Amino acid sequence: MTTQAPKTTSRRNFLGLAFGGALALLAAQFTVATLKFLKPISRAGFGGQVYAGKVEEFAINSVNRILAGRFYITRTEDGLLALWQRCPHLGCAVPWVAEEGRFHCPCHGSIFNEVGEVLAGPSPRPLDTFPVTVRSGEVWVDTARPTPRANFDPSQITGA
């Protein structure tokens, strides 16, 4: 009888330690998941500040898709313009068709030039823009603030 008491206590201790360890692991996983959730998503992708690349990565007179931000960077001789890929007509994603040198909406045929002006189709206005900031040669785009516009104006371009 006296020899079994330590065995039972040992089993209890083991189960207690195992349970405590499992709880600690669960708490750690919860903490990591919570921290990831609370980390500003806006800094990592669409809906906030999106890093588009270094200025020199954008050739003059080019249109560049930034997948993570759902926008295009058009670089003109005067600077940079960020165009939301969302069609102002009914919201389809508008691809840049390099062979045409145009944005061409696949849904109802709206066509936009490299600065987002409507050339044809039902779109009521040019592609919306996002504010562009250049910091230490890095291009950042604020995708939280799409800016509808009636026309293209050179003042919409951010110098780079």
CB of 93: closest distance to ligand FES in angstroms? 9
Q: What are phi and psi of 142, to 5 degrees?
A: -90, 95
CA distance 116 to 94: 10
Q: How many residues does the chain have?
A: 160
Instruction: Output the smallest distance, CB 110 to ligand FES, in A.
Output: 4
CA 134, CA 88: separation in Å to the nearest integer?
Answer: 26
Q: Which of 54, 65, 108, 145 binds ligand FES (CB under 6 A)?
A: 108
Indicate which single residue of 83, 105, 141, 157 sits in contact with ligand FES (rule: CB under 6 A): 105
Indicate which single residue of 121, 134, 149, 158 sits in contact with ligand FES (rule: CB under 6 A).
121
* Residue 69-98 contact track with ligand FES, rule CB under 6 A, x = bound: ------------------x-xx-x------
Question: If binding is defined by CB under 6 A, does position 122 make contact with ligand FES?
Answer: yes
Kindly state whether residue 111 participates in binding ligand FES, applying the rule CB under 6 A.
Answer: no
Query: Which residues lie below 8 Å from residue 17, measured CB to CB, with a gap of 6+?
Result: none
CA distance 81 to 17: 59
Closer by beta carbon to ligand FES, 79 or else 110? 110
Of the candidates 118, 115, 65, the one whose C-alpha atom is nearest the C-alpha of residue 89 is 118
Task: Decide if residue 102 touches ligand FES (CB under 6 A).
Answer: no
Tell the residue number behind the tokens 């040669």, with chain if given: 137
Residue closer to ligand FES (CB basis): 86 or 134: 86
